[in-house]
């Protein structure tokens, strides 16, 4: 299954691959070069397909846990000052996505969308300390029945050139449902109230809709 945001790119990549494969013999009479061109086109298509894959990870919503919104590696767990919405100290957990990770963003909790805003910005590498405040990004706040307000931020990386965010203020959303997509390398930050029990560790690989990031006892 592929994400709908990849439909146009997948169609273009497939068309180009077919054209290159068919016309490679006319571009060169050298057999090994012809095969190299055809294989390179096929590899390009496979990379596009794997990037836009959308694994079916249906779950039973659980208000007492916060699930990973994306696949990737946990690169930050620390107290920070969140200056856009809360304007106070929060516990930040950041997940970095490499180009080979699934890039679908999913709602980490169920609740009501209280805030959703897009910010244009730079394209620093996603692990840069200033990426959270200077890169292109979207900020979304969900009011959860158990955890209160949870903020997550989609952040574009050096390769990302488009953030897709489906959250609109006033919407009721369900944990695990599709919340958007970030194209070609990125990061997601999650901000919790201080004292939240975090269940992941630095450098741990998280799986969207499966890994528990935080729990309410």
39 and 69 in a single domain? The answer is no
Task: Kindly indicate the confidence band of residue 103, based on its pLDDT and cuts at 50, 70 and 90.
Answer: confident
Any domain includes 59: no
Task: Scan for tokens 């730079």, then name that residue.
Answer: 122
Residue 170 has pLDDT above 70, yes or no: yes
CATH number of the domain within which 186 lies: 2.70.70.10
Helices and strands (DSSP H and E) totals, the chain: 3, 14
21 and 117 in a single domain? The answer is no
Query: DSSP per residue over 106-128, as a string?
Result: E-SS-EEEEEEEEE--B---TTS
Q: How far is CA 154 from CA 163, 188, 200, in A?
A: 7, 5, 19
Average pLDDT, the chain: 88
Range with lowest mean pLDDT among 56-65, 79-88, 126-135, 180-189 = 126-135
Give the whole-angstrom CA distance, residue 209 versus residue 58.
8
Is residue 186 annotated as part of the catalytic site, yes or no?
yes
Structural domain of 174: 65-215
- pLDDT score of 29: 80
Give the whole-angstrom CA distance, residue 120 versus residue 115.
17
- pLDDT score of 183: 74
- 23 vs 66, more confident: 66
Segment 60-81 mean pLDDT? 93
User: HEC string of 165-184?
Assistant: ECCCCCCEECCCCEEEEECC
Q: Of 116, 110, 97, which Cα lies nearest the Cα of 67?
A: 110
- pLDDT score of 191: 97
List phi, psi (to 5°) of 32: -65, -35
110 and 203 in a single domain? The answer is yes
98 and 160 in a single domain? The answer is yes
Segment 95-100 mean pLDDT? 86
User: pTM for this structure?
Assistant: 0.83
Marked catalytic residue, from 110, 132, 144, 186: 186
Residue 128 has pLDDT above 70, yes or no: no
Residue 161 backbone zone (phi > 0: left; psi -120 to 50: alpha; other: beta): alpha
91 and 133 in a single domain? The answer is yes
74 and 36 in a single domain? The answer is no
Report the number of distinct structural domains present in the chain. 2
205 and 115 in a single domain? The answer is yes
């Amino acid at each position: 299954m592929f994400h709908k945001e990849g439909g146009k790119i997948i169609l273009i990549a497939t068309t180009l691959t077919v054209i290159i494969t068919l016309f490679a013999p006319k571009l060169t009479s050298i057999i090994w070069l012809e095969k190299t061109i055809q294989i390179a086109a096929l590899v390009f298509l496979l990379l596009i397909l794997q990037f836009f894959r959308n694994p079916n990870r249906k779950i039973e919503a659980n208000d007492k846990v916060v699930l990973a919104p994306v696949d990737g590696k946990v690169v930050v767990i620390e107290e920070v000052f969140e200056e856009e919405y809360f304007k106070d100290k929060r516990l930040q957990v950041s997940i970095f996505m490499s180009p080979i990770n699934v890039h679908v963003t999913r709602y980490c909790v169920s609740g009501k969308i209280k805030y959703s805003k897009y910010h244009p910005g730079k394209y620093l590498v996603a692990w840069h300390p200033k990426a959270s405040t200077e890169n292109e990004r979207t900020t979304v706040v969900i009011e959860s029945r158990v955890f209160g307000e949870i903020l997550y931020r989609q952040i574009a990386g050096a390769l990302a050139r488009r953030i897709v965010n489906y959250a609109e203020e006033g919407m009721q959303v369900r944990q695990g449902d599709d919340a958007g997509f970030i194209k070609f390398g990125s990061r997601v930050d999650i901000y919790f109230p201080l004292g939240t029990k975090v269940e992941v560790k630095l450098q741990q690989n998280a799986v969207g809709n499966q890994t528990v990031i935080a729990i309410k006892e």
